[in-house]
């Protein structure tokens, strides 16, 4: 069984929308068996693999190209968001934050919902293996094979599913319980119209991409042979990441709209088009894979290129990618406006107009050639050959399907091998496909947190106070978070009374459950240091009751309930001194847990009686301190 998975950078009820009238009613081919190619009349058929089962959302009688949404994927993505998946949140469609707010409200109202959230978040935390987008993609892969709510079961047997999805299949009972207690089906039905509107907004731009690509390659829609290209929309995911998957003859792309300047929403159409080119071109070349055995000497020339292993070891994969990159170079937006002849052009001006037009075209060609040289230096050493061939292809009325044989059989292998040998490869591969989110400019309380971490306490305090002065009438300002910053500034400047007051304000007004929980934990610790054990235990219980879903919060609060907080030896209250077990350390299996409060920091250290000091805190996403 051959599985292909690519993450391009960087979604039961399923609502479909055919992309254009000419795509409707296409015939469905039977008996297709290759995971990467369609049936071909060419006598040199490519290698045959057992065809994997199609995802749940693929309708065998459906349209060839579809734009859909998916409730199972919505539920999976919502669960990930509830467990700290914040990537791309600032640039996401507003519906993502609206759903998060509704889930937070449901969690605050239900103990069962918080328990279900804690269970699924713990599972997700335990299955973080790579620290990359692949940690999320395995859940996306699983969601594509789930049946509609309320069943939410896998639609095929585990051996017929993608390997990455089977690694997390045990999450399903936890997901169903979370969806039930939070009423994700109700939230989905409430916002379903927003998803439909999103599909409608993307329809025209996606249709334009499909039509223009087919037009360039001269390949009409009737040649799809029953294969499908499906774009699944899920705004709850990171808009900077596109997940593209190939299941047999079905290509599925999961996208999330991004809000750009002016409030306009878009998707990474260049990456979607890259996958669509795979959809069109792969069958043509896989059906001639045997003929490409003579290309094998080229693999020796790319052994030091910064390519993925599959490109350095599979000549067919490398050839496909090179042809796609050549097509992209020929059709790319160069950023140079096309020449427009003057409206009052006269016959005697023809020569000058032609010179000006050729000059603009030459500038465009230089941009395209620079793109080709870059792809060659990345290791895609056949890009230049295919670029030259596509220039001739554009002048020929034959389609790519009719021309592909000439491209394959007409290649001068010795010439291309020598050209590849002369290429100086880059040291690193591009990251524009697996693109990371651009650094976000910090403002407001985010900037105050950064100043606090950098040790600029006066600026951090000033910014927190400034945010609080803006708070009246501005619901976007979290005064509780501002109080939380001021409290830590007070701790670090040895003002425990003011810190206690600010932590109490933070606990009373914080919007974020994590800040609320840690405000109670800090209050409990300060009260322990003041020998107010009963008050401290009440604070630790309040922290547990918040249920922010983070393991470090639960560990810190439970430890506070078991034993009074004493960061160093020598701090002993009278009640502790009379307690035989007071000097005992924590159980061996709980020593030095990995916990850290929001904003980071290391343990309180006593200055003088009744005084606590908290060193410079770290960002909220930093790993917990081992001593916390």
Domain contains 277: no
More confident residue, 574 or 369: 369
Same-domain check for residues 52 and 199: yes
Between the alpha carbon of residue 496 and those of residues 267, 490, 602, the distances in Å are 50, 7, 17
Question: How far is residue 606's CA from residue 600's CA, in Å, rounded to a whole number?
Answer: 18
- pLDDT tens digit sequence for 291-318: 999 999 999 999 999 999 989 999 999 9
Domain contains 126: yes
Domain contains 514: yes
List the domain range (segments joined by +) for residue 92.
4-266
Same-domain check for residues 124 and 60: yes
Same-domain check for residues 412 and 461: no
Domain contains 575: no
The DSSP call for residue 39 is: -
Same-domain check for residues 493 and 561: yes
Same-domain check for residues 29 and 130: yes
Question: How far is residue 531's CA from residue 589's CA, in Å, rounded to a whole number?
Answer: 27
Same-domain check for residues 466 and 335: no
Give the DSSP H/E element, type plus range, for residue 405: helix 400-409
pLDDT, residue 38, reads 35
Q: Name which of 81, 69, 57, 95 is nearest 182 in CA terms.
A: 81
Domain contains 271: no
Same-domain check for residues 393 and 455: no
Same-domain check for residues 73 and 184: yes
Buried b (16+ CB within 10 A) or exposed e, 207-229: bebbeebbeebbbebebbbbbbb
pLDDT, residue 159, reads 77
Same-domain check for residues 455 and 408: no
Q: Per mean pLDDT, which range of 137-146, 344-353, 503-512 is the poorest?
A: 344-353
Domain contains 235: yes
Q: Judge whether 103 and 187 are in contact, CB under 8 Å.
A: yes
Between the alpha carbon of residue 37 and those of residues 5, 66, 293, the distances in Å are 15, 19, 17
Q: Per mean pLDDT, which range of 59-68, 208-217, 231-240, 350-359 is the poorest?
A: 59-68
What CATH number did the domain enclosing 455 receive?
1.25.40.10
Same-domain check for residues 395 and 505: no
More confident residue, 236 or 622: 236
Question: How far is residue 447's CA from residue 369's CA, in Å, rounded to a whole number?
Answer: 43
- pLDDT tens digit sequence for 194-251: 999 999 999 999 999 999 999 999 988 754 577 889 999 999 999 988 888 887 778 8
Domain contains 283: no
- pLDDT tens digit sequence for 488-539: 999 999 999 999 999 999 999 888 888 999 999 999 999 998 899 999 999 9
Same-domain check for residues 207 and 292: no
Same-domain check for residues 481 and 559: yes
Domain contains 428: no
Total structural domains in the chain?
Answer: 3
């Amino acid at each position: 069984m051959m599985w292909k998975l690519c993450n391009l950078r960087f979604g039961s009820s399923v609502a479909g929308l055919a992309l254009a009238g000419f795509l409707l009613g296409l015939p469905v081919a039977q008996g297709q068996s290759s995971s990467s190619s369609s049936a071909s009349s060419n006598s040199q058929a490519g290698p045959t693999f057992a065809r994997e089962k199609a995802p749940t959302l693929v309708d065998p009688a459906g349209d060839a190209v579809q734009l859909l949404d998916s409730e199972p994927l919505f539920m999976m993505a919502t669960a990930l968001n509830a467990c700290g998946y914040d990537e791309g949140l600032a640039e996401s469609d507003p519906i993502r934050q609206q759903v998060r707010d509704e889930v937070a409200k449901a969690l605050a109202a239900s103990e069962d919902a918080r328990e279900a959230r804690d269970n699924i978040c713990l599972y997700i935390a335990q299955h973080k293996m790579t620290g990359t987008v692949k940690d999320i993609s395995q859940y996306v892969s699983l969601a594509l094979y789930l049946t509609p709510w309320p069943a939410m079961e896998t639609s095929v047997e585990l051996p017929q599913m993608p390997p990455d999805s089977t690694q997390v299949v045990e999450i399903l009972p936890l997901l169903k319980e979370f969806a039930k207690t939070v009423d994700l089906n109700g939230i989905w039905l409430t916002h379903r119209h927003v998803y439909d509107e999103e599909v409608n907004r993307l329809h025209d731009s996606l249709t334009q991409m499909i039509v223009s690509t087919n037009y360039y390659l001269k390949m009409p829609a009737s040649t799809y042979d029953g294969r499908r290209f499906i774009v699944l929309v899920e705004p709850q995911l990171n808009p900077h990441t596109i997940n593209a998957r190939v299941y047999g003859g079905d290509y599925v792309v999961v996208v999330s709209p991004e809000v750009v300047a002016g409030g306009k929403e878009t998707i990474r159409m260049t990456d979607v088009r890259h996958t669509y080119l795979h959809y069109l071109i792969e069958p043509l070349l896989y059906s001639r894979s045997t003929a490409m055995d003579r290309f094998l000497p080229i693999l020796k020339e790319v052994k030091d290129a910064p390519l993925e292993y599959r490109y350095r070891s599979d000549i067919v994969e490398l050839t496909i990618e090179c042809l796609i990159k050549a097509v992209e170079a020929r059709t790319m937006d160069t950023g140079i406006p096309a020449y427009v002849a003057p409206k009052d052009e006269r016959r005697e001006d023809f020569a000058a107009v032609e010179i000006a037009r050729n000059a603009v075209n030459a500038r465009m060609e230089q941009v395209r050639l620079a793109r080709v040289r870059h792809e060659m230096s990345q290791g895609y050493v056949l890009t230049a050959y295919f670029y030259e061939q596509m220039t001739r292809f554009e002048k020929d009325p034959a389609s790519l399907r009719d021309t592909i044989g000439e491209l394959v059989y007409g290649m001068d292998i010795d010439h291309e091998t020598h050209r590849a040998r002369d290429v100086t490869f880059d040291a690193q591969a591009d990251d524009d496909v697996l693109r990371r989110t651009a650094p976000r400019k910090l403002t407001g309380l985010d900037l105050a947190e950064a100043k606090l971490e950098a040790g600029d306490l006066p600026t951090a305090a000033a910014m927190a106070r400034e945010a609080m002065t803006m708070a009246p009438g501005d619901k976007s300002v979290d005064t509780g978070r501002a109080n939380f910053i001021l409290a830590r500034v007070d701790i670090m400047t040895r003002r425990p009374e003011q810190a206690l007051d600010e932590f109490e304000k933070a606990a009373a007004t914080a919007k974020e459950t994590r800040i609320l929980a840690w405000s109670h934990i800090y209050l409990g610790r300060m009260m322990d240091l003041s020998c107010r054990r009963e008050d401290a235990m009440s604070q630790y219980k309040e922290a547990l009751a918040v249920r922010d879903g983070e393991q470090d919060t639960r560990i810190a609060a439970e430890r506070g309930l078991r034993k009074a907080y004493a960061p160093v030896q020598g701090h002993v209250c009278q009640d502790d001194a009379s307690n035989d077990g007071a000097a005992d350390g924590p159980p061996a299996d709980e020593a030095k847990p990995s916990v850290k409060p929001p904003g980071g920091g290391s343990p309180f250290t006593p200055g003088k009686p009744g005084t606590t000091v908290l060193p410079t805190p770290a960002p909220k996403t930093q790993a917990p301190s081992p001593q916390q």
